[in-house]
Structure 1
Amino acid sequence: MTRKLDGSKLVIATHNAGKLREISALLAPFGVDCVSAGELGLPEPEETGTTFVENALLKAHAAAKAAGLPALADDSGLSVTALGGRPGVYTADWTERQWFEAEPGKDYKGRDWYLAMGKVEGLLCEKGPDVDRSCRFSCTLAIAWPEGDEAVYEGRVDGTFSWPPRGTMGFGYDPVFVPQGRNQTFAELGLEEKKSMSHRADAFAKLVADQFPDTP
């Protein structure tokens, strides 16, 4: 049986304030008090895993051990069928500009999601006009306890990689992802509609069903 969260304090293994707010809001109805690894001054471990599960567990165990509290981490990304599942766990890495991609006089560091979307489109175009554009967003949520126990919840949403990007309400690869059964990209859908079908919502639903089974 999966170990259950039996206290009110949970470390969210992130230094991203936006992600902390999102996860805190999802867990608030269950009486969980969230604090981020960033607020606790915990270091960010190097993500050396080759799968979403490996990276999520790596981050969760590192935070749990350092804080002496249960910790929740997530790892997510876009996998494109025709590209052999890339960018996958390297989804965020594809946003990083190289020195030769920098604009004159500007720092090349930082994340450029439009650049990343363009890299995917370029690789698909190399395969011809009839290339398979199916893809999926994946999200893995991992909970780890200081004693070494762990639990993993995986969510996904399937769709199509669309070009050019459309919409302004999303982030990351949302402007090029059209979920199955829709004609709009995630960036064109309202926040509540996106949340109801997203990969993160799928993973959280599984977490809640397992960790808080007696909650109405």
Structure 2
Amino acid sequence: MKFPVVFVRWFHHRRSLEAAGAKSAKGVLKLVKEASGQNESETKELPSWKKQVLALKRKFKGERWNPAKKLSRTEMDGMRLLRAQFPQLSASELAERYKVSPEVVRRILKSKWRPTEEEMVRVHERWKKRGERIQELYQTSPELRQGRIEPRKRISIASGRRSSDLVVRSTTNFAKQQKPALNSEKNSGAKKSKLFLLQRSVRND
């Protein structure tokens, strides 16, 4: 009795069932179980970092790690500080707070990289130049200098039950507030015109 040529894979080793000595259906099942058991034993012997790499390869299907949203350095430092103050927060909760995946949070918290003094100096110089550009824009723009530009929305923020939570208390839209004022002026003018016509009709009578 001949079986179809089936290959059993042990990581980088392959051989057919006939070469392995499987002469019956029970032999085939036994060979497959031995192969799976050997794979599990070899996986258990791997270090934790290698297991994590293999799990990520299976998860991303061999694609390169490239998240869509990338946090700034300030946000990453804030995440580390938040985790240090509240160690009970899980990666899923932090991911929901920062609108990223839990894998991004795990990589940020696990990373031990810190900027050097030269890199921090470059960052401060970049922020200083940014402030100078904003100041030049403020001086050259007459609207900004005279304070004519008003915010369209004002958001009132209050602390929630937890010290780390921020809750939006109210949102005021200035553009919507100005429209009723114009309508009220029109309404008052219409009322005055009606009163004038009524008085005129009374005088004519």
TM bucket by the smaller chain?
under 0.3
Higher normalized contact order (CA 8 Å, seq sep 6+, divided by chain length): 1
Structure richer in strand, relative to its length: 1
Query: TM-score, structure 1 length as denominator?
Result: 0.20
Structure 2 length normalisation: TM-score?
Answer: 0.21
